[in-house]
Structures are given as C-alpha cells and as structure tokens.
Amino acid sequence: MSDFIEVSQDILPDLTLIRALRSEHRSVQSLELLARLRRRVMENRTALQRHSEGLNRAYEESARGSLDANGLVRLAEAVLEAERGAAEQLYPWMEALGEARALKSKHSQEAQQYLDELHDVAAGWLAAYQTLRERLIKLASERHGGPSTVLRARPVEGDIDHEALNREFMARFPKIRAALAK
C-alpha cells in the first residue's frame, strides 16, 4: 500500500513548464508550449487514473484484511501524512497553474483548457487521498464494535437526592466546578 500513498514522480510539477507559464516574455500560445501542455495533460490523467485505482485496491485489501479499528486509524494517519507530502509538492504547481489561468487574455482557448485540466488533475490527486482516508476512518468506526443503536436517556423516577448528586459531581469534576463557582 505504501507505494500508492506516496507521491508519484509522474504527477510532480515540471519546473521548466512552471517557469514558462510564469514568464511574461513567452506566450503560452507558442506551439512548443501547447504541445508540452497537451502531453502533460495526457500523462497526468493516466497517472491520476493509476493512482486512484491503486488507492482503491489498497482500501479493498484493508477491508478484507485483519486490521482492527486502531490499525485502520493508523493507516488513515499514514494516508494523511502522504497527502500532506503530496500537497507540499503539488501546491507550487497548482499555484503556478492558477496564476497562468488568471491571465486569460494571454492564452489561447486550447491553452486555457489544458491549464484547467492540469489544475483539476492535481486537485483530483489530493482528493483521492482524502477519499481513501475518509473510507478508512468509516471502516474503522464500523469495526470498532461499539453499540449500533443510539442510547437514549430515560427520565428519572422518584425523589432525587440533590446533595448526593452535588457531592458526586464535585468529586468527579472539581476543576470545572471551581471554575464555575468563580
């Protein structure tokens, strides 16, 4: 599973493409840059597809496996750490894409579409981690074995010994009671 929760080299930002997108001297309409954007979209879509399939397989293995609720929570924490690492590497790329997308007058319609798709793929990459993490936490809560029914309080019948209740409350929560008394 660890190979799917780590950031793939396929999706990492292309630093020269980022510099070209941020450059004021070079137009995104150039054929060379359009070809690079088109190629990058295709590669990133394929990488995202593999990434999502791998995370889905990892979840299925976890669901069939013998991990208890605590093991699933630890796994979800590992996925969160991987997501943070991926975000750290992808945010500069997404930021550069966002800046380039903001300069709509500088881009052709085709270039704008590629920029939008690249940004969506990067966001989808991070969303795949979040989805896996949420599914693992839900599975952990199901395996926790807690009561499946909601417990409801019943009204007290008869006389209530308020003095005994106060003593018990003060014994259980002395700091809270002292703070409330101030």
pLDDT tens, position by position, 116-145: 898 899 999 999 999 999 999 999 888 876
Whether this prediction's pTM lies above 0.85 is answered by: no
The number of residues making up the chain comes to: 182
Per residue in 45-79, pLDDT (tens digit) is: 999 999 999 999 989 998 898 888 888 999 999 99
- 3-state percent helix, strand, coil for the chain, nearest multiple of 5: 75, 0, 25
